Amino acid sequence: MSFQNIDVAEFKHKIAQESNAVILDVRSPIELEDGSVPNHQLIDIMQPDFASKIAELDKGKTYLVYCRSGNRSGKACALMAEMGFTKLYNLAGGIMAWNEAI
């Protein structure tokens, strides 16, 4: 697998430890009403320009990716890995798990 599924505790640890980490929310803007991880960057995976927006990102950085449940963010991580990104972490359970943990 070209990315790792990690739990909320490890996701928070990586946010704290990785100074160049990018927190990537791949949900739609309306889903932000369900809460979000602080300091995230929103790029909606359902939009047709998703791949081109991802291609503009720095491949040398660490990406902490999440969605609502972990499904779409897993797909986003797989796509990013195909594009040459190497430091990819998917939040298992997505924002639902995050909200339960805080």
Paired tokens of 13:
């640890």
Clarify whether 67 is annotated catalytic. Answer: yes
Q: Which of 21, 67, 76, 88 is catalytic?
A: 67
- The token pair at 23 is 């927190």
- Rounded Cα gap, residues 11 and 8, in angstroms: 5
Instruction: Determine phi and psi for 42, rounding to 5 degrees.
Output: -100, 120
Question: Which residues are known catalytic residues?
Answer: 67
